[in-house]
Amino acid sequence: MIPKNGKEKRDGYAVITGGAGFVGVNVAQRLLAQGTVVRIFDNLSRPGVERNLQWLVGDHGERVSVMVEDIRDAPAVRKAVHDAHQVFHFAAQVAVTTSIQDPVRDFEINVGGTLNLLEALRALKNPPPLLFTSTNKVYGGLENLALREEATRYAPVDGSIAEYGIPESTPLIFHSPYGCSKGAADQYVLDYARMYGIPAVVFRMSCIYGPRQFGTEDQGWLAHFFIRALENRSITLYGDGKQVRDILFVDDLVDAMQLAICNIDRLWGRAFNIGGGPSQTTSLLEIVDLIEDLHGYRPAVRFDTWRPGDQRYYVSDIRNFSNLTGWAPQVGVREGVARLSRWLKELRSEKPASLVA
């Protein structure tokens, strides 16, 4: 079906579910700076998000509308989007470990909450563009990917994977309740685009980092490493620390999201792998080295067993999205990590209490 929205100019709010979180507040800040009014829909359950919200409202005042509600509450979701002109869906249960402990809650938030949003949009006469953030976990553990072990990282044997990364054509293999719930939501969004004409696009994201990220061991690992180092606490590496990820600075992600909304007529109904790509890769061990380089001391490191579904190598093949929009990451690993480190130091100076959840 053809999306109902076309290029028609809209009035109303940019709605961001999970909008007080790390990615949400950075998207909101960009939109507000551009003159867009924003509605934040968030239950404020994640540690640190109240500070993000205070910062946002402090800068922009009444141009930020806040709904402290839960994505599982269908009437609240309908109320939030009734006058939306664009929607960013970030509200989620975000940790593999938490999903293993409580798979029912994980399902209710990630699948049920997404279905609530899709149904609310389907009920509108002219549904707004929707951007949904999925995850690289939809590809499972990539156990069949042949790798060679190097001093500080794994590297793919396949030359194409080494040059370009993991493409969207990679088979979906949902691993862990979190992988299943995010994967199911990913597929629901794509099918609602196909069946009901919802103008939606899916980002299967790699590791995003930057200011306003209150990282924990389960989610936002890069910020978590720096927080631990700042507090002279040890870092736990699960596995051998040679796992490779492409990391993407949050400003580059926001650029990509805005391009996705602007180009929704060409992109709707598609999923894209979004990350730093082959030029922005690091391993866990290499980040520890970078912490030492930037801070002048090396944090203590301990090792623990591999976690379920942990990919030894994941780097996004970003060519499809880049070719369609001209987007490319601009912030290099060292520059971006240094900017995150500076923000965390400034935050720590503002509040002596622990930054670790």
Tell me the pLDDT tens digit for each residue of 208-258.
999 999 887 778 899 999 999 999 999 999 999 999 999 999 999 999 999
Q: Cα–Cα distance between 57 and 266 in angstroms, integer?
A: 34
Q: Where are the domains of the chain?
A: 13-350
pLDDT at 110 over 80: yes
pLDDT at 159 over 80: yes
CA nearest to 209, candidates 201, 219, 195: 219
What DSSP letter does each residue of 29-41 carry, written as one string? HHHHHTT--EEEE
DSSP state of 135: E
Rounded to an integer, the average pLDDT of 257-263 is 97
User: How far from each other are the two terminal CA atoms of the chain, in whole angstroms?
Assistant: 45
Active site residue 313: no
Predicted model pTM: 0.93
- Please pick, among 178, 192, 313, 314, the residue that the annotation labels catalytic: 178
Q: Please calculate the CA angle 327-203-328 and round it to the nearest 5 degrees.
A: 15
How confident is the model at residue 9, as a pLDDT?
Answer: 45
- Cα 38 to the center of its chain, rounded Å: 19
CA nearest to 134, candidates 250, 255, 270, 20: 270
pLDDT at 350 over 90: no
Task: Tell which phi-psi region holds residue 270, choosing left (phi > 0), alpha (psi between -120 and 50) or beta.
Answer: beta
How confident is the model at residue 351, as a pLDDT?
Answer: 55
Backbone φ and ψ for 129, nearest 5 degrees, come out as: -60, 145
Tell me the pLDDT tens digit for each residue of 39-90.
999 999 887 789 999 999 999 999 999 999 999 999 999 999 999 999 999 9
How confident is the model at residue 168, as a pLDDT?
Answer: 98
Name the residue type at position 110: N
- Joined together, the tokens standing for residue 290 give 């970078």
Pairing of strands 207-209, 154-156: unpaired
pLDDT at 206 over 50: yes
pLDDT at 165 over 60: yes
How confident is the model at residue 10, as a pLDDT?
Answer: 54
> pLDDT averaged over the chain?
92
Please identify, in words, the CATH class of the domain defined by 13-350: alpha beta
DSSP H or E run through 200 = strand 200-205
Residue with tokens 């006469």: 125
Kindly indicate the confidence band of residue 6, based on its pLDDT and cuts at 50, 70 and 90.
Answer: very low
3-class DSSP state of 128: coil
Q: Of 46 and 107, which is predicted with more confidence?
A: 107
- Written in H, E and C, the secondary structure of 35-100 is CCCEEEECCCCCCCHHHHHHHHHHHHHHHEEEECCCCCCHHHHHHHHCCEEEEEECCCCCCHHHHH
Backbone φ and ψ for 151, nearest 5 degrees, come out as: -60, -45
How confident is the model at residue 225, as a pLDDT?
Answer: 94
How confident is the model at residue 8, as a pLDDT?
Answer: 42
